[in-house]
Amino acid sequence: MKLQPSIKHLPSQKLVALQVVGLHNIPHAFQQLSHWSVENGGTESPQRKMYTIYQDSAKEVAHDQINLITGTTIITPIDFVPQHLMLYNMEACKCIVASLVLNPQDLSKAWTALYQWKNAQNLELSDAYPYEIYHTDYRNHPDGLCQVDLCIPIK
């Protein structure tokens, strides 16, 4: 895996989201969000992205107890979200971004390498949570790979 991190200013983004506990629950949350999106006119648009926002560190909290938010971008205006979903506003921020194509099982290694790069550059974390932006679904790739951006908000 070859990281080529860059520093970018990422725009704000409105998401329909689910609060999730445990990494093992991410696929089910994505399935719920995809179902909601299709029902609300967001069919397979290349503009639709899926997000995982890490509220806890996977290095400090057991993987089955980690708190996160999964979300999907809002493409068309919406008037209502079901009670089990929420609206979540990602604020614009400056981030270290690594764009990768990888097997989802390699995400942990990629995050470790990206934080090592951040430390080597003496960059300071902001108060915002780190997150992933999924551009493709690994289940639709013949080799089980996904295109994902790893984003670390910095000051």
The pTM assigned to this predicted structure is 0.92
Q: Say how far apart CA 111 and CA 117 lie, in whole Å.
A: 10
What Å distances lie between residue 88 and 19, 21, 98, CA to CA?
Answer: 10, 17, 23
Asked if the structure places residue 122 within a domain, the reply is yes
Asked if the structure places residue 136 within a domain, the reply is yes
When pLDDT is averaged across residues 109-136 and rounded to a whole number, the result is 96
> Is pLDDT of 21 > 60?
yes
Q: Say how far apart CA 20 and CA 103 lie, in whole Å.
A: 22
- What does residue 140 show for φ and ψ, rounded to 5 degrees? -100, 5
Please give the torsion angle defined by the CA atoms of residues 29, 32, 36 and 39, in that order, rounded to the nearest 10 degrees. Answer: 150
The pLDDT, as a whole number, for residue 91 is 95
Structure tokens at 26: 């991410």
Domain count along the chain = 1
Asked if the structure places residue 44 within a domain, the reply is yes
- Position 15 confidence tier, pLDDT thresholds 50, 70, 90: very high
Strands 13-21 and 67-73 come out as: antiparallel
Q: What DSSP assignment string belongs to 51-74?
A: EEEESS-TTTS-TTT-EEEEEEE-
Q: What's the CATH number where 79 sits?
A: 3.20.80.10
Asked if the structure places residue 1 within a domain, the reply is no
> Is pLDDT of 43 > 60?
no
Residues 66-113: tens digit of each pLDDT: 999 999 998 778 878 888 899 999 999 999 999 999 988 899 999 999
Asked if the structure places residue 49 within a domain, the reply is yes
Q: Say how far apart CA 138 and CA 118 lie, in whole Å.
A: 27
What Å distances lie between residue 50 and 26, 53, 118, 120, CA to CA?
Answer: 11, 10, 24, 29
The separation between CA 146 and the C-alpha centre of its own chain, rounded to angstroms, equals 12
Which residues span the domain enclosing 48? 6-153
